[in-house]
Amino acid sequence: MAHLDLDTTALAGASTRARSAGHVLASADALAGSDSSHVLAETGDAGLAAAWGDLTAAWASARADLAAELGALADGLVRAAEAFDGAERRTATLFVELLGPAPAAARS
């Protein structure tokens, strides 16, 4: 028989932190305001400007994907916390039913 000890409050807290990180990541754009035309104007290097444009486009996509994955992780952690919490409650209920009512002497 396996023993599983999970802190469902910690799972729920991890979910909240993952969701918050996803929101921050989705709303933060560290590369905003420096597009390839800005790089070209600053450096005069068309190759560098094109590379910067590619980098910012790739980062925007990666950032959106990562934010979505953090949201999915948060959802999964919430479901896991709920499932384990429900299983714990159900196990306790079944255990009480298995034991049956307390003897009359123990109730007084």
Kindly tell me if the per-residue pLDDT of 1 is higher than 70.
Answer: no
- Provide the residue range defining the domain that includes 47: 8-89
Residue 2 lies in a domain: no
**Sequence-separated (6 or more) residues with CB below 8 Å from residue 59:** 31
Domain membership of residue 67 (yes or no) is: yes
pLDDT at 68: 93
Q: How many domains does the chain have?
A: 1
The per-type count for the chain, helices as H runs and strands as E runs, is 4, 0
62 within a domain of the structure (yes/no): yes
pTM, rounded to two decimals: 0.68
Residue 59 lies in a domain: yes
- 14-54: pLDDT as tens digits: 999 999 999 888 887 766 666 778 878 888 888 888 888 88
Query: Which amino acid type is present at position 99?
Result: L
Confirm whether 15 is domain-assigned: yes
| Residue 58 in domain | yes
Inside any domain, residue 107: no
Q: Is 63 exposed, middle or buried (0-12, 13-18, 19+ CB in 10 A)?
A: middle
For the segment 71-102, what is each residue's pLDDT rounded down to a tens digit?
A: 999 999 999 999 988 988 998 899 899 988 87
Distance CA 44, CA 47 (A): 9
Q: Residue 8: what pLDDT?
A: 85
Question: Residue 108 pLDDT > 60, yes or no?
Answer: no
Let me know if residue 71 belongs to a domain: yes
Compute the distance between CA of residue 76 and CA of residue 51 in angstroms, rounded to an integer: 37
